[in-house]
Structure 1
Amino acid sequence: MLTGTGITAGYRNPVITDVSLTVHPGQTIGLAGPSGSGKSTLARVLALLHKPFAGSVTIDGETVTRFRFGATQRTRIGVLFQQPRLSVDPRFTLRRVIAEPLKGNQERVTELADLVMLTDDLLDRRPHEVSDGQLQRACLARALALRPRYLICDEMTTMLDASSTAALVGVIRAYQAETDAGVLAISHDDRLLTRWADETVRLSAPLRR
């Protein structure tokens, strides 16, 4: 299980306070709430990219003690962000984007490209030469490269049309069926979460002082 318990987190000030959430293997948990409710902050904490002010994160029973670059459990969690163009080096080809975590394993790059339905001609293009949907497919391939136990999708479909959204969700479901991975799906799209998630947790907007 990927579990956040009593998480209080933010930047200068807390954005979320005493929030708990658990993602079981094989399960998809939706996370919804208005802008400013702390969905992305919680996602970054659970992805071990942001250290909380208080609370704990455990992965398969192991308590996380270090975050960001010191987090030894980071490879167990894949992350897919909202804006793919901000998530990649614009100088990289899609092939190099996918290969980034793989240390030159081209066979695995080919396998992942096939999984997300990227053809060879697309792999040799740079981000400005492909659509948002094609670039997000490459980002998904990169997120799955090290076969994570958990996948955090932070508004991954915001920039995409309906067909690209359906394709990405289909790839993730197939990956779950094969690996029993747990997924945290963050979205403003209630219809998407109704179709995709096993259950949905809702965060409230913080009180204004």
Structure 2
Amino acid sequence: MLTADGLTKRYGRFTAIEDISFTLHAGEVLGLVGESGSGKSTTVRCLVGLTKPDAGQVRYAGPKFRRGVQMVFQDPYASLNPRMTVAEIVGEGLLVHGIEKSSAGRRSRVGGLLEQVGLDKSDMDRYPRSFSGGQRQRIAIARAIAVEPKVLICDEPVSALDVSVQAQVVNVLRDMKLELGLSILFIAHDLAVVRYLCDRLVVLDGGRIAETGTREQIYANPRAPYTKSLLAAVPVPDPAAERLRRSAR
């Protein structure tokens, strides 16, 4: 559905990413993982056209990129316009893309979308300030899927949320993938979340790809030293096992 082919971006003498190539296949969740500064944000900006790469190209299999590729941003407190109601936020894409031009039709669609992500249709006349972070991210997901995209790019969508609500948002994304047949590019640094959601992984280190593979391959038999260090940093839920692991280092 979406292919990055040799993406390279430099800022002066600093190379943010170099020769980044991967393909997001139809119906899969691909994880793009790495620590801060690994090149994840620059890669995403090149993918969606916010930054022009110095080399390489992005290919999308569908006919209308701006409708077919939608984003869920990292910070649910900054990505929703505080002056707009939920109905306006979620329904804006329906109007812009000419999907539903009547106000009544948009409200009906918005109500259904809110229920689809686990909210209530009565929420549509409220403003973002009256929702929690997890609820705001559900609104952002509803806005993204409103225009019936083929690809959803999720830029660390749970990193700004409390651990208690991260799983809820991840479950919404997984449900949307299954119900709508979405292809999802999931950007993250938390490998525990990635393991639960993603089918394949692309590991970035210093602006380059360290390794790629299926979830099973990466977690069972990581090849790159950088990937091994990322996995070693993932907390173990069992306190006794975590103490044993730390003592063995």
Runs of 4+ in 1 over 3 A off after TM superposition: 10-14
Q: Which residue of 2 aligns with 1:91?
A: 83
SS where residue 203 of structure 1 aligns?
A: strand
Aligned residue in 2 for 1:6: 6
1:100 matched to which residue of 2?
92
Q: Which residue of 2 aligns with 1:65?
A: none
Give the direction of change, closer, same or farther, for the CA distance of 1:19–1:206 in structure 2 (3 Å limit).
closer
Secondary structure at 2:23's aligned position in 1? Answer: strand
TM-score by length of 2: 0.73
2:142 counterpart SS class: helix
- Structure 2 distance, partners of 1:102, 1:10, is 36
- 1:100 counterpart SS class: helix
Alignment of 1:31-50 (within 5 A): 31-50=32-51
Q: Percent identity?
A: 40
**What displacement does 1:163 show?**
4.4
Structure-2 separation of matches of 1:61 and 1:76: 7
Q: Where does structure 1 lack aligned partners over 5 or more consecutive residues?
A: 63-71
Instruction: Output the CA distance in 1 between the equivalents of 2:195 and 2:173.
Output: 16
Deviation at 1:21, TM superposition (A): 1.5
SS of equivalent residue, structure 1 residue 164: helix
1:106-185 map, 5 Å: 106-185=107-186
- Helix, strand or coil for the counterpart of 2:5? strand
TM-score between the two structures when normalised by the length of structure 1: 0.86
Return 75-84 or 113-122, whichever deviates more. Answer: 113-122
Where relative contact order (Cα < 8 A, 6+ residues apart) is larger, the structure is 1
The alignment yields a C-alpha RMSD, in angstroms, of 2.0
Quote the Cα distance in structure 2 between the aligned partners of 1:48 and 1:75.
13
Q: Which has a greater percent of helix? A: 2
Determine which structure has more spread, i.e. the larger CA radius of gyration: 2
Q: How many residues of Structure 1 are paired with residues of Structure 2 in the alignment?
A: 198
